[in-house]
Structure 1
Amino acid sequence: MAYMKSEKYKAYKRAYMREYIRKYRKTEKYRAYMRAYNKTEKRKAYLREYRKSEKYKAYMREYMREYKNRFHKPTLKLIR
C-alpha cells in the first residue's frame, strides 16, 4: 500500500475528486439540495435579525409573563 503515499497517486486522486464534484454539482439532486439549503440559511438569517428586534423582545416579555402566571404559581404550604 506504499503507492497510496506517492505524490503521483495523490495528484490522481485530487484530479478524480475535482472531476467527480464538477459532475455532481450539475445533477438535479444537488441543485434541489442547494435551493433548500439557501432557503433555510436565509430564514435563519432573518430569524437572527428578528430576535434582536424590539417587537420580538416585547412579545417574549408578554409570553413569559403569561407562562409564569400559568405554570409557576406559588403553592400554599400546609401549616402543621
Structure 2
Amino acid sequence: MDHELYLLQTLLLNQLKERMLTPVASQDQSALEKIKELRKRALLSGSDTPGTQPRTHRYNQDYKKLGFRNDTDPTKDFSETPPGHSP
C-alpha cells in the first residue's frame, strides 16, 4: 500500500512540475495579490493597528520576515531557477 501511495504522489506532483518551475512576471497582479494575502495572513491579525512607520517600510520588513530576499519586489524571488534544476 505504501508503494501505491508513493506512485500516486509522484504522478500528481509531476503534473504540477511545469507550473512549479514557471517564472513569475514581476507585473503579474495575481502573484502580487497572493503575496500580499500571504503577508496579511502570516503577520497581521484583526486586532493589529498599523504603526507610525511608512507603509512601504513595514512591507519591506514583513517580506524579510517571510524569507523573501528581494524585499522591494518579492516576485523577483520567483524568477530564479530553484536549486538543483538546470535552466
TM-score band w.r.t. shorter chain: 0.3 to 0.5
Larger CA Rg, structure 1 vs 2? 1
Q: TM-score, normalised by structure 2?
A: 0.32
Q: TM-score, normalised by structure 1?
A: 0.34
